[in-house]
Amino acid sequence: MSDKSDQSIPSTDARQRQMLALWTKIECWAAELGFQEVGIAGVDPGLHEEHLNNWLAAGNHGEMHYMEKHGTRRSQPAELIPGTLRVISVRMDYLPPDTDPILVLGDPSKAYIARYTLGRDYHKLIRKRLAQLAARIEQESDGGQYRAFVDSAPVLERAFAEQAGLGWIGKNTMLINSKAGSWFFLGEIYTNIPLPIHEVPDDLHCGSCTACLEICPTNAFTGPFELDARRCISYLTIESRAPIPLELRPLMGNRIFGCDDCQLICPWNKFAQPTAETDFHPRHNLESQDLLTLFNWSEEEYLRHTEGSALRRIGHERWLRNVAIALGNAPYSIDIVSSLQRRLEHPAELVTEHVQWALDQQLGRRG
């Protein structure tokens, strides 16, 4: 005997049930692939697009011309991938265990490297996992369009992750999750499958806390939710190819690649969990390596020790630029002076200009 009740269900309702069932499976698959959370957003960026345009108009992106190059394709998914209806957002924890970031920041002989880049380059790992997730969805849904991204295309990732319910964009412009803090990577899958959109809680926020704004070493925040990248240490040490402004160098301390201060001070990060992904664990003792050791690396040694790491992206010259500033900020040391003097013979002006500055700082402290 046939079930006539099923035959009476409108096709739209049947499609909705199918999408809800698929969403349940996506949650399971994402967890199996090592993602801590997954959510689904629509393609309307809301006020985030206006905020992005205002930020660009103010010149706060500095040398990151790619931020404006793609126009509205960054905030309008269907312009980047025609037919896109949903953005599947995932997050993956990356905080390595036992790296003692506060102790390293407090030791001027050590190099501070942003915790996200101590291990393997996250782009490859997450992109591979997202591709596997997309393949499972495609197989289960019998078709559809899927494109995975991990910082590989113009995607307004934090905005869509917020709309997918993975957290909220805090005053430090990071995405903050009430159960996991902010030490995580994001990735996205654009699809034309009309999956159910995640409902976003409206009661999550930073409250009156301004700790992240006050702790920034270079005063890069012009106000809550407003970051001037041109003063941000992460931008200066990673994105910028130019000489670092003189007035900012003493403020950078021993931070040679990125900066985590606004995350280290964030109260929500008391809920952060160390990553279980061993690929994100530190390599070559980079969690607390001596500045002089890193400064004395030849280009060959730099390339060998940063193989498979995001540290590779700045190249040896900018690596030396950054480490030279940290050495200039360190207490006087004859060993530092000797190493700096040897680097004055470097062929790149970008290197020698910062080495000379650091040498002047060191000699000025000599008693």
C-alpha of 277 from chain center: 17
List the structure tokens of 11: 């096709």
> Who's near 266: CB < 8 A, 6+ residues apart?
170, 172, 174, 176, 181, 182, 211, 212
Q: Give me the sign of the Cα torsion angle 172, 178, 184, 186.
A: negative
Strand pairing class (175-176; 168-169): antiparallel
Closest CA to 119 of 283, 288, 301: 283
Alpha carbon distance 170, 152 (integer Å): 23
121 is catalytic: no
Strand pairing class (221-223; 226-227): antiparallel
Alpha carbon distance 144, 282 (integer Å): 39
Q: Which residue has the tokens 């078709």?
A: 143
Candidate list 13, 151, 290, 335, residue with the active-site label: 151
> Who's near 203: CB < 8 A, 6+ residues apart?
none
What residues act catalytically?
Answer: 151
